[in-house]
Structure 1
Amino acid sequence: MSHDFTSHDFSDHDAAELDPAFVFDFQAYDDLGDGQRWSTWLDVEPLSRGPEPRPDWVVTSQAAVDTELGILKTGKEADAFLLERAVPDSDARGESVVMVAKRYRRAEHRTFHRAASYTEGRSVKRSRDERALKAKSTWGKIVATSEWAISEWTALNRCWQLGLPVPYPVQVDGTEILMEWITDDEGESAPRLAQTRPDPALLASYFDQLRESLATMVGAGIIHGDLSAYNLLAAGERLVIIDLPQIVDLAGNMNALDFLMRDCTNVCTWFRARGLDVDEHDLFGDLMAHAF
């Protein structure tokens, strides 16, 4: 027998006797302010989200809002912004985090012109995209832009899983990568190594960390390709490697050893200028001992 529910079915007395576990407050957030959007976490496919196990600070709530906090850094091929992902009016642990949003520019707005030497040996999944890239068509330029984002996303994931000191990659969506914000001991953005003047002990520690990281990369068959004191972050006593879109395959790129030698020269020149007795040829030899 059907029953017609009316306003008389649930009285104030019934409501008063409801188990509190079934009672919740509901608040709608229909209007977002300038520089805000709903979290894009669920908009991307699972493979576009960071590797597991994920750090506990990653916010995955569908109710979260992304808020632009301002520009962090401008670069040759992309700009980095600070972005807060938070559940409104929530003070719960794990419901708010500040991340870096790295956004790649379209090809005509980039100043990074050495793409061909870096991308040698890479493959494009779809033949249509590969043809468009070779023809340098409008679609090809769009593909090229997203390829740099995907390249860095893939590199960050691989390096993170190798245990290397890189920002945790949260997600990728088109030409935007969300990643961990690296901070110093005071909770501010960690400076580039080039902006620091570490004491001799810390300087030596930084170099040892860097040599170990580069050896791990070479052992995995990859090279940074554009390494210098400007894409290393000094996060307190820890050195963090950033800016990985041009990562080079050691076996598949005929210029790989030249890139590795240049990386060694760049970093050794900086450390040597600060008083550390290091040599790029010695570093190169040490790293090649780890190759494959």
Structure 2
Amino acid sequence: MNGKQLQEYFDQLDDAHGDESVSSGKRTVRKRESSRKEREARLFIRAQEVSREFRFTYKAARFEEAWLLDSLAQLADHQWIADVLRKVKGGKEASLYLCKPGGAVKSDYVAAKIYRPRALRNLKRDAEYRVGRVDLDADGTALWKEADKNAIAKRTSYGEEVRHQSWIAYEFATMELLSAAGADVPIPYAMEKNAIVMEFIGDGLQPAPMLNAVNLGHAEARRLFDRVVHNVDIMLSQDRIHGDLSAYNILYLNGGIKLIDFPQVVLPQGNPSAWRIFLRDMTRVCDYFSTQGVHCDAYKTAADLWTARGHRIVEKVHPRFLDPENPADRKMWDKR
């Protein structure tokens, strides 16, 4: 595998090709191209070194092996995983792999969520979620170097890498926080680079389905709706809003649920769009449960939870966070 082939694989992984803007200056273009090739070469060499020490059962697709080796090598060194058995799910932002745990975890299986290169740099309206959040480093601690903060603000290539890591760190930190608070989330075990090792939610080797794919009886639907509301309230008690909650981000297994996917988590205290995002989450939840026979009022449920935790309902939103393609946002703009 050469650097050109590895870049071809990364292009296959990313939906958006070339996340960096093209400069009119040829010198800038050459510099960025040189830096990209240097990163590719480092990854390729690292993958070749690691492959001698860490081999796995899963037969990776073309060039996928290098990506997995670079992402999981240190987790394997620290005994969080011992083998990669198969790919469970592929997505736009990350892929999930079923793994055999190492000595650090007492479980039959664990899941490794590995983010695609540059995937989180292209999240739609990411600034809306990040308002009020302190960017985190690879260890999950707040960034303190001004150079890192400035790089993020200027959206340099390095800054985008730092911001990418911050999204992943927020997901891991949120899962730790919610798990300790008693929420129904997969137990997080470890984070390294662009990978998170967590509890595998499934029956044997089979992953749990998304709630959206499940048809519930009326009594079970009512019970699970109440359980979701309970989890949302736990999140609020920990100063967190999921930010993208729906039946697509809830797993169903043996009559229970697990909430997943937290990189875009919102902090209600410091985000002026928090109420609107929270209401959107509850509306999506109610949309699903309404199809299962549960009568639920999304606005009332959201308002009761929100005010019970001491928050005020504020409809005002900064214009830059309004989506012109969204009818509700256009209506809000017309009221200005």
TM-score over 0.5 (shorter chain): yes
| Closer/same/farther in 2, CA of residues 182 and 128 from structure 1, 3 Å limit | same
Q: Could you tell me whether the CA contact under 8 Å between 2:54 and 2:76 is conserved in 1?
A: no
Are residues 1:287 and 2:305 paired?
yes
Secondary structure class of the residue paired with 1:177: strand
- Taking the aligned partners of 1:101 and 1:108, their CA distance within structure 2 comes to 16
- Taking the aligned partners of 1:86 and 1:97, their CA distance within structure 2 comes to 10
Q: How does 1:86-105 map to 2 (within 5 A)?
A: 86=102, 97-105=108-116
| Closer/same/farther in 2, CA of residues 224 and 131 from structure 1, 3 Å limit | same
Q: Could you tell me whether the CA contact under 8 Å between 1:107 and 1:144 is conserved in 2?
A: no
Q: How does 1:165-204 map to 2 (within 5 A)?
A: 165-184=184-203, 188-204=206-222
Q: Could you tell me whether the CA contact under 8 Å between 1:85 and 1:99 is conserved in 2?
A: yes
State the Cα deviation string for residues 152-206 of structure 1 (Å, max 9, x = none): 011101111111010000000011110000124x663111000101111111111
Q: Could you tell me whether the CA contact under 8 Å between 1:76 and 1:111 is conserved in 2?
A: no
TM-score, normalization by structure 2 = 0.65
Larger Rg: 1
Q: CA RMSD in A?
A: 2.6
**Residue of structure 2 equivalent to 1:70:** 86
- Structure 1 portions without partners, runs of 5+: 1-29, 45-58, 88-93
Instruction: Please identify which structure carries the higher strand content.
Output: 1
Q: How does 1:190-229 map to 2 (within 5 A)?
A: 190-229=208-247
**Residue of structure 1 equivalent to 2:179:** 160
The Cα of 1:220 is off from its aligned counterpart by 2.3
* Number of aligned residue pairs: 239
Identical residues among aligned pairs (%): 29
Are residues 1:256 and 2:278 paired?
no
Q: Could you tell me whether the CA contact under 8 Å between 2:76 and 2:102 is conserved in 1?
A: no
TM-score, normalization by structure 1 = 0.74
The Cα of 1:66 is off from its aligned counterpart by 2.3
Partner amino acid for 2:224?
Y
Compare 106-115 and 135-144 and name the one that shifted more: 106-115
Secondary structure class of the residue paired with 2:248: coil
- Structure 2 portions without partners, runs of 5+: 1-51, 59-68, 136-142, 311-336
The Cα of 1:104 is off from its aligned counterpart by 1.6
Q: Could you tell me whether the CA contact under 8 Å between 1:78 and 1:110 is conserved in 2?
A: no
Q: How does 1:56-135 map to 2 (within 5 A)?
A: 66-86=82-102, 97-107=108-118, 111-124=122-135, 125=143, 126-135=145-154
The Cα of 1:96 is off from its aligned counterpart by 5.9
- Taking the aligned partners of 1:212 and 1:118, their CA distance within structure 2 comes to 23
| Closer/same/farther in 2, CA of residues 129 and 202 from structure 1, 3 Å limit | same
Q: Which has the higher contact order (CA 8 A, sep 6+)?
A: 1
**Residue of structure 2 equivalent to 1:269:** 287
Are residues 1:136 and 2:141 paired?
no
| Closer/same/farther in 2, CA of residues 109 and 280 from structure 1, 3 Å limit | closer
State the Cα deviation string for residues 15-57 of structure 1 (Å, max 9, x = none): xxxxxxxxxxxxxxx865356879745867xxxxxxxxxxxxx
